[in-house]
Homo-oligomer: A and B are copies of this chain.
Amino acid sequence: MKPLLGQRIVEVATYVAAPSGGLALARLGADVIRIDPLGGASDHHRWPLAPGGGSLYWTGLNKGKRSVALDLRSPRGQELVTALVTGRGTLLDNTVGWGWLADERLRELRPDLVHVRVQGRADGGPALDYTVNAAVGVPDLTGPAEFSGPVNHQLPAWDLLTGSQAATAVLAGLLHRASTGEGSYAEIALSDVALGAVADLGWLGEARLSGQDRPKQGNHIYGSFGTSFRTADGVHVIVVAMTRRQWRALQEATGTTEALSRVGERAGLDLDVEENRYLLRNELVAVLAPWFAERDVDAVTGAFADTSVLWQRYRSLTEVAADGGHLLEEVHQPGIGPVVTARGAVRWPADPPDSVAPAPVLGADTEAVLSEELGLGQAEIAKLVDEGVIR
Contact = CB atoms under 8 A, between A and B. Distances in A.
A156 interface: yes
A134 B313 contact: yes
A157 B154 contact: no
A207 B320 contact: yes
Interface in A134-161: 134-144, 147, 149-157, 160-161
Contact of A151 (B157, B219, B316): B219
A131 interface: yes
B152 A340 contact: no
A171 B160 contact: no
A207 B347 contact: no
B141 A154 contact: yes
A50 interface: yes
Interface stretch (A68-76, A189-197, A253-261): A189-197
A88 interface: no
B201 A317 contact: no
A345 B188 contact: yes
Interface stretch (A56-64, A361-369, A371-379): A56-64
A169 interface: yes
A205 interface: yes
Nearest to A141: B154
Interface string A265-282: 000000000010010000
A109 interface: no
Interface string A303-332: 000000011111111111110011110000
A161 to B, nearest CB: 6
Contacts of A193: 345
Interface in A194-208: 195-208
A9 interface: no
Given A200-B341, A219-B152, A175 B176 contact: no
Interface stretch (A77-85, A223-231, A286-294, A383-391): A223-231
B179 A327 contact: no
Contacts of A310: 126-128, 131
Interface string A328-362: 10000000000111111111111000000000000
B209 A165 contact: no
B150 A147 contact: no
A24 B205 contact: no
A86 interface: no
A306 to B, nearest CB: 13
A46 B6 CA distance: 43
B222 A154 contact: yes
A297 interface: no
A198 B317 CA distance: 9
> Counting chain B CB atoms within 10 Å of each CB, which of A217, A230, A319 scores highest?
A319
A56 to B, nearest CB: 3
Contacts of A251: none
A164 interface: yes
10 closest A-B pairs by CB: A47-B223, A56-B202, A199-B342, A3-B176, A48-B206, A157-B157, A171-B171, A164-B164, A207-B317, A131-B312
Interface of A: 1, 3-7, 16, 20, 23-24, 28-29, 42, 46-51, 55-61, 63, 116, 122, 126-128, 130-132, 134-144, 147, 149-157, 160-162, 164-165, 167-169, 171-176, 178-179, 184-189, 192-193, 195-214, 217-219, 221-224, 226, 228, 230, 236-238, 240, 242-243, 275, 278, 310-322, 325-328, 339-350
